[in-house]
A and B are shown apart, each in its own frame.
Chain A
Amino acid sequence: MSKYYLNYLDELESEAIFILREVWAQFENPVILFSGGKDSIVVTHLAKKAYYPSKIPFALMHVDTGHNFPETIKFRDDLINNLGVKLIVGSVQESIDNGRVAEEKGKNATRNALQITTLLDAIEEHKVDCAIGGGRRDEEKARAKERFFSHRNDFGEWDPKNQRPELWNLLNGKHFEGEHFRAFPISNWTEMDVWNYIKRENINIPSLYFAHTRDVVFRNNSWIPVSQFLKLEEGEKIEKKKIRFRTLGDITITGGIESDADTLEKIVDEVSMMRKTERGDRSDDKRSETAMEDRKRQGYF
Chain B
Amino acid sequence: MKINNNQLLRFTTAGSVDDGKSTLIGRLLFDSKSIFEDQLESVSATSERKGHDGVDLALFTDGLKDEREQGITIDVAYRYFTTPKRKFIIADTPGHIQYTRNMVTGASTANAAVILIDARHGVIEQTKRHSFIASLLNIPHLIVCVNKMDLVEYSEERFNEIIGQFEEFSSKLLVKDVRFIPISALLGDNVVNRSENMDWYQGGTLLNILETLHISSDINKIDARFPVQTVLRPQNDEHRDYRGYAGRVASGIYRVGDEVAVLPSGFTSRIKSINNGGDDIEEAYAPMSIAITLEDDIDVSRGDMIVKKNNQPEAEQEFDIMLCWLHNEPARPRAKYTVMHTTNEQRAMIKEVVYKIDINSYNRNTEDKDLTMNDISRVKVRTTRRLMLDSYRDNRNTGSIILIDENTNETVAAGMII
Contacts and interface: CB of A to CB of B under 8 A. Distances in A.
A174 B409 contact: yes
Contacts of A200: 3
A39 to B, nearest CB: 15
Nearest to B88: A8
Contacts of B289: 13-15, 17-18, 21, 50
Contacts of A155: none
B63 A142 contact: yes
Interface string A13-55: 1110110011011000000000000000000000011111111
A26 to B, nearest CB: 9
B199 interface: no
A126 interface: no
Interface in B380-418: 396-397, 400-402, 404, 409-411, 414
Interface stretch (B152-160, B178-186, B225-233, B359-367): B225-233
Contacts of B343: 22, 25
Interface stretch (B119-127, B128-136, B139-147, B215-223): B215-223
Interface stretch (A71-79, A232-240, A252-260, A270-278): A270-278
Nearest to A11: B8
Interface of B is mostly: mixed
B404 A160 contact: no
Interface in B263-319: 275, 277-278, 285, 287-289, 291, 302
B50 interface: no
Most buried by B among A8, A12, A167, A276: A167
A170 B401 contact: yes
B97 to A, nearest CB: 16
Contact of B287 (A7, A15, A187): A15
A15 B248 CA distance: 8
A145 B80 contact: no
A27 B183 CA distance: 48
A163 B102 CA distance: 11
A86 interface: no
B87 interface: yes
Nearest to A272: B1
A51 to B, nearest CB: 6
A287 interface: no
Given A1-B216, A193-B87, A289-B42, 4 more contacts: A4-B219, A11-B287, A54-B236, A167-B109
23 contacts: A2-B221, A5-B216, A7-B5, A14-B287, A15-B289, A21-B229, A25-B229, A25-B302, A52-B275, A142-B64, A144-B63, A144-B77, A145-B77, A160-B64, A167-B104, A167-B108, A170-B340, A170-B401, A172-B409, A174-B338, A196-B3, A276-B36, A280-B36
